[in-house]
Each structure stands twice: as structure tokens, then as C-alpha cells.
Amino acid sequence: MPAFVKVAFDVPLPEAFTYRSDAFPEAVLGRRVSAPFGRRELTGYVVGELATCDIDEALVKGLSRVVDKEALFDKKSVDLATWMAGMYFCGLGEALAAMLPSGRREPGAAALDAEILEMAEAPLTLSAEQSSALDRITSTPGGIHYLYGITGSGKTEVFLQAAEASLAGGKGVIYLVPEIALTGQVVEAAQRRFGGRCAVIHSRLSPSRKLAEWRRILRGEAQVVIGARSAIFAPLAKLGLIVIDEEHESSYKAGNSPRYHARQVAMRRRGSEGATLVMGSATPSAEAWRLMEEGQVGRLELTKRLSGGALPAIEIVDMRGEDSSISGRLAEAIRDTAKAGGQSILFLNRRGFSYFFRCKSCAAEIRCRHCSVALTYHKDRNALVCHYCGYRIPPPRACPECGSLDVGWAGFGTERVEEEAGRRFPDLKILRLDADSTSRVGELERILQDFREGKADILLGTQMVAKGLNFPRVKTVGVVLADTSLNLPDFRAAERTFSLIVQVAGRAGRFSPDGRVLIQTFRPDSPVIRLAAQSRLAEFYALELSARKDLGFPPFARLVRLVFRSKDKAKASMAAADFAHAASPYLPQDAEILGPAECPLAMVAGTARWQLIFRAPELRDLHRALGLALAEWEAPSGVRLETDVDPASLM
Ligand code: ADP
Ligand code: ZN
Ligand code: ZN
């Protein structure tokens, strides 16, 4: 019986604290406890047991209470959390808090099991390509593979059969999908195949249901865990396989501290637990593409569409000279579709800026001379600003490319598109899907269900809809303005735009070979848009990777981003400058600091945001240097610091 335990709390401190536990023999590793911390009483995680005290015993306090009757995690989870805390510069308890469900045990929580059907559907007979991919996966345990194939090429079936093989070998499976509500078919397929051995974990589950699923995994009742990002932490005793479906999706990166990437955590678990990792997508991330090119990740290609249906024709609509956000051609396609009883989807890009500065004659946009990212127009200050390095210029009077004087800012906001759609199609029913409606539990599902049942003619939504496009009646898909994401001040802008177009087209054509995809753009000649419309993937990746290499962006460099937030703008900018100064002596020679600069999202909820971007060819030395600087540096009062290793977005 341990007399002392180490407890980690959900606070930004790297260490765990020692407590006397002799009054609580049940306070063992893996359980949550309540204990006095400073002047407060906090719930923490028991991460270690000690027979003898490791600090001055006179200073040690006793635990107040043990929360759990069963362990919530094991030693492996503690090891993973320790790695997370080091990698992402967060506290050990913060890492555990991100990994574990937080719910309380409720009597009714286990009712979930009854819903799960105990049926085992037979696997499909694999095509030759699928079967050779599966052979490679099962014959190289511990390997990293990439299933690269267009939408409908049967990746899911290969994942499911690889999962079966893992289970047959007595090992569990984690199957990651980007967003549960939009990947319902995959979840259903897995449940049909694995019945009660399947656990589903996602953010929409109530805390108590999440905890119930978690416990089924801990007890070994569920061996296939399917879920979004956080399912990567599932406490499977023996992990044999990790599947990352739609690997390119940005939702695999956490938006709050610790800002982990599920792919990175998967790599770590593969290494420490000897699991096989299989990723898959029709549009791999640039990082993954490079790993395949270098042979570090095995490429398994599926070239045939098993779902039937050809890829639809993709039309590029030149928006130069258009006044409306919905061009004549798109409007006509929507009307024809509705007349024939079909449905249309319009994609907006809400994440993007509504406004950017461009030449109305040649569509050139103004880029930073130092960073080559698009400058953002600030109307209030009448300035074009680079949000990487802080470079700013007054808006030019003439286009630097063609000399035209017809330059200015433009853009289509969501509201404007919705309003115009309503005006243009007064007789058609429009459903709208946006971040607000999707934050309410069940709302997203309801809207998608209504649309699937034909209760509306047009669905207006952000790119998130692209993932779940399984609407048999959809004949027309319009991307309202591809440039919105292309012009983002982010080095991944081209990659995201490309992938959006290819994904939208692939899914749209799944059910309707006669389907149409229209891409509206002010830059019809942009290679990104052209190559996407023609599905010329290899050429796009070659072009994109060479640009990244020239500019020194990932995957040819690693970035760490620090954001300094404060109600007081001057404080935020001064703290950023101060940290840059403090960190400089530690940095390796080949590292550089971009900034301080205002974040592209300069104000969020009344809080000013300034950033530093650290860049180096390799992460190791840069990471170590920042660890030292962060440990030493103290944020001034009123300033909060966010750290982001390998940031997915620089907004
Ligand atoms: P992807 O995941 O690559 O987008 P899916 O796994 O959804 O593609 O497969 C597309 C369709 O093809 C599905 O309806 C699936 O049932 C079917 N399919 C997959 N593999 C086979 C196969 N070996 N034989 C027949 N149909 C298959
Ligand atoms: Zn011009
Ligand atoms: Zn710049």
C-alpha cells in the first residue's frame, strides 16, 4: 500500500505534487482525487505511487477524497501525457485533462450498450488493389502506410478488414474520423461489422456517456474505438492498429492547449506500443505527401472507383466583371437542377477573410515581399498588413503586376451570399449550415437529415459539409469563391483550397455521374484552381512542395508559434518583443524569429493578439531552446501566452 502519491492537476505546471495517502488505500494510479492545492481544493490525477516520501515530509498534505471507484487510466496513459506535456509545453495534468473524459459516473450511463447491435456483417470481397493494400498492411506490423485513393475507391473497406485482422491477432484498433456527425456511414459500417466490440467517442456525447464508453474500453469490452481527434487517447490494453481517415483534415489538430495533432500522437503511440499506422485520403497533406515521396511512409494506391459513377465535370467560372456573388452560370445550374427535382449545395468559406485587396483587371493580389503571403486589408487604418512579419504598406494606387488603376478591396461575406440567394431564388427553399447551428447538439444532424430527405432545394454551408456529402439528390455543387481560402495569410492556403475543390468534386460525383461542380473564382488562371479542377494531384504537390521549399515553410521547416494575448494591446506587443529578446540567446544558429506581428485575427473578444513565429529546419534544438526560455520567462500581469508547436493555422 503506497503511503504517498504523486498528483497532477489541470494547471499549467509541469510537475506532479506529492500527497500523503495512507488514509486512502484506494488512491492508486489512474484514479482522480481531491486535494488541497494552495488555498483551493482541486481535483487531480494520481500519476504515481510512492512507498517513501520524495520531499520534506513536514510540507506534505493529505488527500481529501478519492473520486473514482475504478481507475480511469493506466501507466501507459501517464507516459503518453508526460510526452504530451514535453512536446506541447503544457502541464502534465493539462495533458491528462485533454486525454480523459471528465464525466461523473451515473447509474444510467451504461444503457448505451443496449443500442449496439450484436451483428457481424460479412466483409466484402476485395478488389485486387484493395487486397494488395491489405496484404501490405497486415504483413508489416508496426509499419506506417498511406492509403491514397479517390473518393469511392474503397478505402473504408480496407481499413475495416485491417481492423478485423488486428482483432484476430488479439489487438485493439483506434479508427479516427474527422467529424462524427459527417462520417456517419463509416461509424455505421464499423458498428455493423464489429457490433458490441465497437466504442464510439466524440465531443457531442454527454460527459457521462463518454465516461461509460471509456470504461468499456478500459475493461476490455470494446476493442475497436471509433471517434474524432481525442479518440487517439483511447486506453486500449493492446493497441494493434491506428487508422486515420481523411488524414488531411485540419480538425485533427486541437484548437486549445495542449495543441496536439492526433497524427503526431498516433506516431508516438505507434512507436511506443508497436502498433501499425494507416492513414488515408484522396488529398493527402503536403507533409504526408513528402513522407511518401521520401519512402518513410508506404504509399498504397487505389485508383479505381468501386462506388460507380464517374468524376463530375468541374467548371471554372470567371468572376471578373461579375457583380453578384452567384454568377449567371451558377444560378442557371441551380434552377435547372431544381426544375429536374434535384438539389444544390453552395460552399462558402467562413474561416476566410471576407475582404482582400486585389487588382480588378488581372486579379493579382498584393503579397508581402518578405513572406510571400497575401497582405490583409485593414479598412480602418487604410493599410495592407503582413501578419507574419508586420510589414505594412498603404494600398497601392496601381496594380504592381499590370499597372491597372482599377484596384481595391472586395469579397463576399456569408450574409451577402445568403441574402442574394434568397433574392435570386425566392421560390426555392434554402437551408443554412454554419458554426452557430452546429454548436448545438443535434442541430447539425437535423439540418443534414432534412436536406437528405429533400426538404430543401439548396444547402448553404461552409467547407465542413464537404466531408459528409452523401446526398443522393445533389446534382449541382458550387464553390462560391475559391479565392477566399486561397488568399488567406497562411502558408497552407493553396493546399487547403486545392483539397477542398478535389474533395467536393469527388463526393459530388459519387451519386450522380451527371452532376456539375462549379468553382467561382477571380483567378481562373491560378494553377491551384486549374490543377484541382483537372484532378492533377501529383503536379499540384510538386508545385506546392517546391514553393514551400523556396519559402522555408513546412514540411521543409518546423514552426512554433507563440501568441501573446491581452486586453491591453501595448502590453501584448511588448510582451512578444520581450520574449523574443529573452529567447534569442538560446536559439540554435539556424533558427529565426518572424515577428513580433499582430495576429491576422488581431482582436478576439476584446483581446489583442500578437504573435512570434519561430522557425528552424529541425524541431529538436528549437524546441529545447524554447523550453528553456519558457521556463525562465514570466508573462507580465494581464498577458496570457499560448504556445503552438507545428501550428496548423497562423490566424
Ligand atoms: P472511400 O472510403 O475510398 O471514399 P468507400 O470505402 O466509401 O470509398 O467505398 C465506396 C463504395 O464502394 C462503398 O459503397 C463500398 O461499399 C463499395 N465497395 C468498397 N469495396 C468494395 C468491394 N471490394 N466490392 C464491392 N464494393 C465495394
Ligand atoms: Zn493587375
Ligand atoms: Zn511578411
For 203-226, what is each residue's pLDDT tens digit? 777 888 889 999 999 999 999 999
- The reply to whether 325 and 276 lie within a common domain is no
Q: How far is the CA of 287 from the centre of ligand 3 (A)?
A: 23
Q: Which of 307, 311, 507 to mutate to test the pocket of ligand 1 (most atoms within 8 A of CB)?
A: 307
- pLDDT, averaged across the chain: 87
Atom of ligand 1 nearest to the CA of 151: 4
Q: How far is the CA of 399 from the centre of ligand 2 (A)?
A: 4
* Per-residue pLDDT at 109: 39
406 alpha carbon, closest ligand: 2
Atom of ligand 1 nearest to the CA of 125: 23
Q: Where is mean pLDDT largest: 74-83, 361-370, 456-465?
A: 74-83
Q: Write the pLDDT tens digit of every residue in 59-92.
A: 899 999 999 999 999 999 999 999 999 999 999 9
Residue 457, in any domain of the structure:
yes
Rounded to an integer, the average pLDDT of 164-193 is: 87
State percent of the chain over pLDDT 70: 88
Q: How far is the CA of 348 from the centre of ligand 1 (A)?
A: 29
- Top-confidence residue, 179 or 110: 179
* Per-residue pLDDT at 382: 80
- The reply to whether 137 and 286 lie within a common domain is yes
Q: pLDDT category, 183, cuts 50, 70, 90? A: low
State percent of the chain over pLDDT 90: 56
Question: What's the CATH code of the domain at 228?
Answer: 3.40.50.300
* Per-residue pLDDT at 180: 63
Atom of ligand 1 nearest to the CA of 506: 4
* Per-residue pLDDT at 362: 78
491 alpha carbon, closest ligand: 3
Atom of ligand 1 nearest to the CA of 152: 8
- The reply to whether 342 and 243 lie within a common domain is no
pLDDT at 500 over 90: no
* Per-residue pLDDT at 112: 41
Which amino acid residue places its CA nearest to atom 23 of ligand 1? 126
385 alpha carbon, closest ligand: 3
Residue 308, in any domain of the structure:
no
- The reply to whether 349 and 482 lie within a common domain is yes
Q: pLDDT category, 107, cuts 50, 70, 90? A: very low
- The reply to whether 143 and 288 lie within a common domain is yes
Residue 375, in any domain of the structure:
no
Q: How far is the CA of 152 from the centre of ligand 1 (A)?
A: 6
The phi-psi region of residue 605 (left if phi > 0; otherwise alpha if psi is between -120 and 50; otherwise beta) is left
- The reply to whether 10 and 126 lie within a common domain is no
- The reply to whether 328 and 457 lie within a common domain is yes
Q: pLDDT category, 377, cuts 50, 70, 90? A: confident
Query: How far apart (Å, rounded) are the C-alpha atoms in residues 208 and 557?
Result: 42
pLDDT at 413 over 70: no
DSSP state, 312?
P
Residue 369, in any domain of the structure:
no
- The reply to whether 322 and 440 lie within a common domain is yes
470 alpha carbon, closest ligand: 1
Question: Which structural domain range is residue 517 located in?
Answer: 313-353+412-547
Structural domains in the chain (count)? 4
Which amino acid residue places its CA nearest to atom 22 of ligand 1? 126
Query: How far apart (Å, rounded) are the C-alpha atoms in residues 70 and 79?
Result: 19
Pocket, ligand 1, Cβ cutoff 6 A? 124-127, 130, 149, 151-157, 306-307
389 alpha carbon, closest ligand: 3
Q: How far is the CA of 406 from the centre of ligand 2 (A)?
A: 8
Handedness of CA 389, 391, 392, 398 (dihedral sign): negative
Lowest mean pLDDT among 96-110, 271-285, 388-402, 496-510: 96-110
SS3 490: coil
Query: How far apart (Å, rounded) are the C-alpha atoms in residues 255 and 435?
Result: 15
Residue 362, in any domain of the structure:
no
- The reply to whether 437 and 563 lie within a common domain is no
Q: Where is mean pLDDT largest: 52-56, 136-140, 381-385?
A: 136-140
Q: What long-range pairs does 132-135 form, CB within 8 A, spacing at least 24?
A: 132/300, 133/158, 133/300, 133/301, 133/302, 134/158, 134/161, 134/162, 134/165
pLDDT at 464 over 90: no
* Per-residue pLDDT at 166: 97
pLDDT at 97 over 90: yes
- The reply to whether 93 and 9 lie within a common domain is yes
Question: What's the CATH code of the domain at 597?
Answer: 3.30.70.600
Of 73, 99, 125, the residue that ends a domain is 99
Q: How far is the CA of 183 from the centre of ligand 1 (A)?
A: 14
Q: Write the pLDDT tens digit of every residue in 600-621.
A: 777 777 788 999 999 999 999 9
Residue 553, in any domain of the structure:
no
Rounded to an integer, the average pLDDT of 160-168 is: 97
pLDDT at 529 over 90: yes
Q: pLDDT category, 439, cuts 50, 70, 90? A: low
Q: Write the pLDDT tens digit of every residue in 329-356.
A: 999 999 999 999 999 988 876 543 445 6
Beta strands at 376-378 and 383-385: parallel, antiparallel or unpaired: antiparallel
Q: How far is the CA of 199 from the centre of ligand 1 (A)?
A: 23
Rounded to an integer, the average pLDDT of 2-16 is: 90
Rounded to an integer, the average pLDDT of 298-309 is: 86
Atom of ligand 1 nearest to the CA of 510: 10
Of 514, 547, 580, the residue that ends a domain is 547
Residue 284, in any domain of the structure:
yes
Handedness of CA 604, 608, 614, 619 (dihedral sign): negative
State the amino acid at position 381 in one-letter form: R
Residue 395, in any domain of the structure:
no
- Top-confidence residue, 131 or 522: 131
Of 302, 327, 345, the residue that ends a domain is 302
Question: What's the CATH code of the domain at 53?
Answer: 3.40.1440.60
* Per-residue pLDDT at 353: 46
- Top-confidence residue, 336 or 442: 336
Q: What long-range pairs does 25-29 form, CB within 8 A, spacing at least 24?
A: 25/1, 26/66, 26/69, 27/2, 27/63, 27/66, 28/2, 28/71, 29/5, 29/71, 29/74, 29/75, 29/78
Task: Identify the CA nearest to 456 among candidates 468, 471, 478.
Answer: 471
Beta-carbon neighbour count of residue 588 at 10 Å?
14
* Per-residue pLDDT at 376: 73
DSSP 510-521: TT-TT-EEEEEE
Q: Report how far Cα 375 is from the mean position of its chain's Cα atoms.
A: 25
Q: How far is the CA of 387 from the centre of ligand 2 (A)?
A: 23
Atom of ligand 1 nearest to the CA of 302: 3
- The reply to whether 483 and 503 lie within a common domain is yes
- The reply to whether 262 and 324 lie within a common domain is no
- Top-confidence residue, 601 or 100: 100
